A and B are shown apart, each in its own frame.
Chain A
Amino acid sequence: MTAIAFDHVGCDFVTPDGSSYRAVHDVSFAAAPGAFVAIVGPSGCGKSTLLNAAAGLRVPSAGAVTIDGTPLAGLNRRATYMFQQDALLPWKNVRDNVGLGLVLAGVTRPEAGRRADEWLARVGLSTFASHYPSQLSGGMRKRVAMAQNWVIDRPIVLMDEPFSALDVHTRQRMETELLSLWDEGPARRTVLFVTHDLEEAIALADEVVVLSAGPASRVVARYPVPLERPRDLMELRTTPAFIELYKSTWSVLREEVLKSQRGDASRAR
């Protein structure tokens, strides 16, 4: 049983000069229900493209994405998507932003507000319910986005470098909060987490999928992460087991990063 599976997925882009560019080629892998899977790769390797295909925001040019065994058609209604960029609605206050998914699903506004408040308490933003996003710090906005995504109870969570814009300390706090959200509740959700940061990938995930340098990225390696849970992210990064995993994964990823840099250099010439 898989929650989400990529089956020989390929994605083409049309470049401004009219030719076609293959971003992702023949990608196949699957995530079991409740698994936390991280996708890493050099920048420009099509990680986000793959996530958009899983969300149904982009239709693959080849292959298919299957959700719980059914090929995905249209938007993925079993998944939420946390974007790299700010995606909160600037004209709605924090409470209305968090409750939006519920309102869209037909929940009454007072009820949506009440449930939004519960989630705001969980991410420590109760006192900011009436603030607008422009009045919050970057880390607070990410927390609101997290609550906005988790309040609608969907079994799959897609995350595209959600914390890449944050400073190191805020980022570590957000990672810890993400893991505790994922860990609590009766059933874990399936998480697909795209990042370019290998440390973050290993610290959070059950499995790390390494993509090759673009164009035509494919899966070059998959590493299970057998570290125990719950994980203490403050300490984890200095444990021998973590360092061992990091070394072996980095040896593969380093090759791809170098290739992508050589590729950039040759294109620049």
Chain B
Amino acid sequence: MRADGFSRMSIRASQIALGVAVLGVWQAGVSLKILDPFFFSRPSDIAARVATWVATGSIWRHLAVTLEESLLGLIIGSAIGIALGFALARSPFAARVLDPYITMLNAVPRVVLAPLFLLWFGLGIWSKVALAVTLVFFVMFFNTYQGVRDADRVIVDNVRMLGATERQLMRHVLFPSALSWIFSSLHTSLGFAMVGAVVGEYLGAARGLGYVIAQAEGTFDTTGVFAGMTVLSAVVAVVGAGVTRLERYLLRWKA
């Protein structure tokens, strides 16, 4: 896309320059003793730590667990959210009845649920998956609900006149119409799924990126904390790019 007049190259170059500048100021700040390395570590140490983790392979099993939890949370949360979003958008009565409960549940801070989930689902992956689900569900639910309700009245009437049954209307109009809303929320949901998994691990687990970060924190190892964050962000960025590609393909009809 070049509608805004900026070339891809100049944007990419500026992005890299910005990143280098921030890291450079950080590194210089520590070298010049403005920043205390005990609290802030330094970019070169963090990079070295990440490199060690990758070289020894110790990070992979933690990463695999976190990804597994996030993915399961994303899939289960999306499935429930999309299904319920559809159901309530097509049933205004049920939507009115459930509205205050949904608002109340959504207002609950998820962190306070973590100990409950640990009790209910144990220290394994399922307590983290559950936490991710509670985050992903609401984003997906609200967007699907809005997307279905937002479907163009004229297109709905047109397709009904062309002979669609309720089920065909869903498939040919309501679902595609909701899809652009669902996709725009998929990036947010993906981030939320990772947050759910990592927070769950942070509060009680034997492996996973959240566990790695918690361990580092327990020994005042700020380099370890930052290194864990770096791996986490890198993974989110890579998966997010994949989602963008999928989105571009599925929403290719947009002008």
- How does the 8 Å CB contact mask read for A9-29 relative to B, with 1 for contact and 0 for none? 000000000000000000000
Closest to A76 in B: B161
Chain A: residues with Cβ within 8 Å of the partner, total of: 28
Residues of B within 8 A of A (CB): 152, 154-155, 157-165, 168, 172-173, 176-177, 179, 251-255
Q: A80-B161, A93-B253 are in contact. List 6 more A-B contacts (CB 8 A).
A: A76-B161, A79-B161, A87-B152, A104-B165, A134-B253, A152-B162
Complex contact B161–A92 (CB within 8 A): no
Known contacts A81-B157, A83-B157; A89/B173 CB under 8 A = yes
Complex contact A90–B254 (CB within 8 A): yes
Q: Give chain A's interface secondary structure class.
A: loop
List the 9 closest A-B pairs by CB distance, nearest first. Answer: A134-B255, A87-B158, A101-B162, A132-B253, A81-B161, A91-B176, A104-B163, A91-B253, A85-B154
CB-CB under 8 A from B164, the residues of chain A are 104
Known contacts A89-B173, A104-B168, A134-B254; A75/B154 CB under 8 A = no
Q: How far is the CB of B176 from chain A (nearest CB, A)?
A: 4
Tell yes or no: A135 within 8 A of B by CB. Answer: yes
Q: How far is the CB of B183 from chain A (nearest CB, A)?
A: 12
CB-CB under 8 A from A57, the residues of chain B are 157, 160-161
Closest to A82 in B: B158
CB-CB under 8 A from B160, the residues of chain A are 57, 75
Complex contact A86–B154 (CB within 8 A): yes
CB-CB under 8 A from B177, the residues of chain A are 91
Q: Give the complex CA separation of A75 and B251 in angstroms.
A: 31
- How does the 8 Å CB contact mask read for A93-113 relative to B, with 1 for contact and 0 for none? 100000011001100000000
14 sampled A-B residue pairs with Cβ under 8 A: A57-B160, A81-B161, A83-B158, A85-B154, A87-B152, A89-B155, A89-B172, A89-B173, A90-B254, A93-B253, A104-B159, A104-B162, A104-B165, A132-B253
Complex contact A92–B163 (CB within 8 A): no
CB-CB under 8 A from B159, the residues of chain A are 89, 100, 104
Known contacts A83-B154, A89-B172, A100-B172; A55/B255 CB under 8 A = no
Complex contact B157–A87 (CB within 8 A): yes
Q: Give the complex CA separation of A252 and B253 in angstroms.
A: 47
Most buried by A among B158, B163, B165, B168: B158
Q: Give the complex CA separation of A105 and B176 in angstroms.
A: 20
